[in-house]
């Protein structure tokens, strides 16, 4: 339940800071209430995310500004490896 509350807070904050046309906080609350027991499979049936490649094996030397990003965020070799393999990483 904490994850849902955190998600709600993030969406609520974003709706106040960066208002979007067509976004209704009340509709979102109703969606959360009616789908509180939703599983990952249920979500994928509603919104197909497609298939993902297990290993992208990106050539990071071709990624524009990747060297600057590494310096700015002091990425470790392991973090760079994750970006190379998956195209992203969370730190």
pLDDT at 14: 57
Asked whether the beta carbons of 32 and 4 are under 8 A apart, the reply is yes
**Averaged pLDDT, 54-76:** 93
Q: Is the pLDDT of residue 59 over 90?
A: yes
Q: What is the pLDDT of residues 12-49, one digit of tens each?
A: 555 555 555 688 999 999 999 999 999 989 988 998 88
- Tracing tokens 């976004």 back to the chain, one arrives at 23
pLDDT at 1: 47
Q: pTM for this one?
A: 0.48
């Amino acid at each position: 339940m904490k994850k849902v509350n955190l998600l709600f807070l993030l969406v609520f904050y974003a709706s106040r800071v960066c208002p979007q046309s067509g976004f209704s906080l009340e509709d979102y609350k109703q969606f959360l209430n009616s789908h509180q027991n939703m599983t990952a499979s249920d979500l994928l049936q509603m919104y197909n995310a497609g298939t993902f490649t297990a290993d992208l094996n990106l050539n990071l030397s071709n990624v524009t500004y990747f060297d600057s990003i590494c310096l700015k965020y002091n990425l470790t070799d392991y973090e760079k490896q994750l970006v190379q393999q998956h195209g992203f990483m969370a730190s």
